[in-house]
Amino acid sequence: MPHVKCYWMESEEARDQTGRINGEMGTMWAQDRSLSAANDQVQEKAWVAASQRGDTLAFNRLVLKWERTVYNVSLRMLQDRDEATEATQEVFLSAFKNIRRFRQDSKFSTWLYRIAVNHCISRARRRPQGTHFSLDNVDQSVRPAEQLRVTETQDGDVLRAEDRSRVRAALAFLPPDQRAVIELKFFQEQTFEDIAAILHVPLSTIKSRLYAGLEILKVRLSARA
């Protein structure tokens, strides 16, 4: 919420006025956000409908909107950039081929998360037995020098890159099922009901996986800190 400071008004009346203005602007901003979100939903539905009629351009608009999300879901699930890139392309290709089966009774994002998470879980399970991601392996795969270069040029936020590296390292210790729940709950901010719908498992299972995963993350991240 934007904050308006009026340094020249020092009286109580002035502070009240400032508070009122801030409140009004906050309301306007919230309305603007909800309007924008509603517009986004309408626009997305139109793109989905056009994609179902075979409009590739409309589908690629959906790709443009969701590719960053799907890529990061894949990256946190698979812990490898090349594999995450491959998986993301496969997820969009699968969505493109099956878009006509999508009934718009749920959100497109829910449907896309379902494809992405299930794809990543099955990819992770297909890995040869004995492949375990240790912290050192993850650190090597992350390649800190490259990570720093990318983030400095694009975001200029070295600390965030380090955080990401630590989080991914900790996530590597989770089984794919728990990782999927943590991803959907804390990174994609889905409700328990949505997560249950995406993963096709009961609500109680979702919660138990979440708390078990959170416990492991707490241990790993605290230990590193």
**Footprint of another protein (CB under 8 A):** 53-54, 56, 59-60, 63-64, 67-72, 75, 81, 85, 88-89, 92-93, 96-97, 100, 150, 154-155, 160, 163-164, 166-168, 182, 185-187, 192, 207, 210-211, 214-215, 217-218, 221-222, 225
| Nearest alpha carbon to residue 205 among 192, 189, 190, 191 | 192
Compute, in degrees rounded to 10, the torsion defined by CA atoms 143, 149, 155, 161: 30
Q: How many residues are present in the chain? A: 225
- Nearer of residues 137 and 192 to another protein, judged by Cβ: 192
To another protein, the closest distance from the beta carbon of 170 in angstroms equals: 8
- Nearer of residues 22 and 187 to another protein, judged by Cβ: 187
| Nearest alpha carbon to residue 165 among 123, 135, 121 | 135
To another protein, the closest distance from the beta carbon of 108 in angstroms equals: 15
Question: 95-107: buried (b, 16+ CB within 10 Å) or exposed (e) per residue?
Answer: beeebeebeeeee
Neighbours of 212 (CB within 10 A): 16
To another protein, the closest distance from the beta carbon of 43 in angstroms equals: 18
- Nearer of residues 114 and 166 to another protein, judged by Cβ: 166
Token digits for 61? 């608009």
- Nearer of residues 15 and 160 to another protein, judged by Cβ: 160
